[in-house]
Amino acid sequence: MKTQTNLLNLLLVLALFGFVSCDDSDTTEEIVPLVEETAFDVPADPDMSGGFTYFSFENGIVDSTQANSDAWDLAFSGTTILTNGGASGPGQGAGLVVAGIFENVSEVQENELKIDAEGSPAIQGSDSQVENVPGWYTYTGEAPSGPQRAIIAVPGRVIIVKTAKGNFAKMEILSYYEGNPDTTTDEFANFATRPASRHYTFRYVVQKNGGNVF
């Protein structure tokens, strides 16, 4: 008999919680349609001259003469990705690599974002075990299986970007090679047929209303 009463109490409590949480979710913000876009084959200094490609989420590739302005959000050269802020530019840019699935990253914790420092960009390249910071790529080196000496964008890594103008974006790098190839094929493993490196393909969503929720 006693157990039954307890069970009943529990059910009541659960129902109450359900009600309350329903109540909570009513306080939604203004709905802004978020558009997912993909940038294909953004070159990142393919001729290895040391230069950067400047990219704006709104306008695509921007001329390098605008490097000292807030006209760009990201700059690419090899595996280095800069944000427009701190040591890298005059904007409000910041960034962070987080683990997760692109679709499931729904909120930005602004205080966790990093700002570019000289020689230490906010967007971590390969994982740092020392500081336990995830990066966006791995270098396969002399891997016993799979493609060797390749830069592979780590699956399940999402880059949070604060744009030069202070909006938030999330992006997933899909490929570092021209044409967004499947990196698990023999063609990719073979150096003779592997597409050119230093070409980024990535998808992104920008929250243009200034909010931190996607």
Partner 1 sequence: MLYALFLSQFSNELSAQALKIEGTITDERGQPASYANVLVIGTDKGVTADEKGNFLIKGLEAGEYRLRISRIGASAIEERFELMEGATPQLQISLPNANKKLDEVTVTATRTPRNVEDVPLRVDVIQGEQVEQMGALRLNEVLAEQMGLQITSDHGTGLQMQGLDSDYILILIDGEPVIGRTAGTLDLSRIAVDNIARIEIIRGPSSSLYGSEAMAGVINIITKEGTSGFDASLRGRYRSFNTSDLSTTLSYRNDKLSASLFVDRLFSGGYDLTEESVSMTSPPFEAYTFNPKVAYRFSDKVRLSVNGRFYTESQENEADIILDGETVRIDDNGQRQDWNLMPTLELLPNDKHRIQLRSYTTGYETETALTYQNDGALYDENFFNQLFNRSEVQYDWYLNDRNIITLGGGHTIETVDATRYADVNNFRATYGFAQYQFNPNKRLDMVVGGRFDTHSEYASRFSPKLAVGYELKDWIKLQASLGGGYKAPDFRQLLLNFTNPTAGYAVVGSSIAQEQMAEFTERGLIANVLIDPSTIETIKAESSIAYNFGVELTPTDKLTVNVNAFRNEIDNLINAAPIARKTNGQNVFSYFNEDEVITQGVDLQLRYSILDNLTFLLGYQYLDSRNVGDVEKIKNGEIFRRDPSTNRTLAVSLSEYGGLVNRSRHSGNAKLLYTNIRHRFDVSLRGIYRGRWGVGDLNGNGVVDTEQEFAQGYVQLNLAINKDISDWLTLELGANNLLDTTNEFEPSMPGRILFGGLNMRLPGRNR
Binding site for partner 1 (CB under 8 A): 99, 101-102, 128-130, 138-142, 144-147, 152-157, 172, 174-175, 180, 182-185, 201, 203
H or E element: which one contains 78? none
* Cα 120 from Cα 115, distance rounded (Å): 9
Q: How far is the CB of 139 from partner 1 (least distance, A)?
A: 7
Which of 46, 42, 61, 54 minimizes the C-alpha distance to 83?
A: 54
| Minimal distance, residue 123 CB to partner 1, in Å | 17
Least distance between partner 1 and beta carbon 15 (Å): 29
Kindly give, in sequence order, each residue whose CB lies less than 8 Å from that of residue 49, ignoring residues fewer than 6 positions away. Answer: none
At closest approach, how far in Å is the CB of 214 from partner 1? 16
- Minimum CB distance to partner 1 smaller for 53 or for 175: 175
Helix (H) / strand (E) element for 208: namely: none
CB closer to partner 1, 23 vs 119: 119
Q: How far apart are CA 214 and CA 211, in angstroms?
A: 8
Q: Name the residue nearer to partner 1 (CB basis): 64 or 120.
A: 120
Q: Are strands 80-83 and 74-77 parallel, antiparallel or unpaired?
A: antiparallel
Nearer to partner 1, 11 or 101 (CB): 101
- What span, in angstroms and rounded, lies between the C-alpha atoms of 49 and 124? 22
Query: Nearer Cβ to partner 1, position 100 or 166?
Result: 100
**CB contact at 8 A, 125 and 79:** yes
DSSP 120: B
Q: How far is the CB of 127 from partner 1 (least distance, A)?
A: 8
